[in-house]
């Protein structure tokens, strides 16, 4: 079946630190991969996506590369800001349905 496993949190970092949130997946076929972000009290918003192997998604300084050989889609940012504090969800889609990870809470302290 299809599933996503992501790093458990919470994660607390100082401003300007390097961020990595690990995500691995299991899927039949050729999924598209996503990172969504959820700010407090809001719905999920798409952060970045990659639709095929070796694609790199990027947005707002965040990056993730679709690695088929390791079935991974790790999220990285070189220098986090306080405004990046949120919950981050890794997800995959095979077309009709999305499968979400459990979310990783990130808090960035000044």
- How many residues would you count in the chain? 110
Count of CB atoms situated within 10 Å of the CB of 10: 9
Alpha-carbon distances, residue 98 vs 34, 74, 80 (angstroms): 10, 18, 27
Q: Which stretch binds another protein (CB under 8 A): 13-21, 39-47, 66-74, 77-85?
A: 39-47
Number of shown-chain residues binding another protein (CB under 8 A): 20
Residue placing its CB nearer to another protein in the complex, 3 or 81:
3
By CB under 8 A, tell whether 57 contacts another protein.
Answer: no
> Are the C-beta atoms of 13 and 28 separated by less than 8 Å?
no
The residues of the shown chain that bind another protein, judged by CB under 8 A, are: 32, 34, 41-46, 49, 51, 89, 93, 95-98, 100-103
């Amino acid at each position: 079946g299809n599933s996503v496993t992501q790093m458990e949190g919470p994660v607390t970092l100082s401003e300007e630190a390097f961020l990595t949130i690990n995500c691995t997946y299991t899927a039949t076929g050729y999924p598209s991969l996503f990172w969504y972000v959820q700010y407090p009290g809001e719905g999920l918003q798409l952060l970045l996506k990659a639709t095929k192997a070796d694609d790199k998604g990027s947005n707002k300084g965040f990056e993730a590369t679709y690695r088929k050989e390791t079935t991974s889609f790790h999220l990285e940012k070189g220098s986090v800001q306080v405004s990046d504090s949120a919950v981050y969800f890794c997800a995959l889609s095979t077309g009709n349905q999305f499968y979400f990870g459990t979310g990783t809470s990130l808090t960035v302290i000044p």
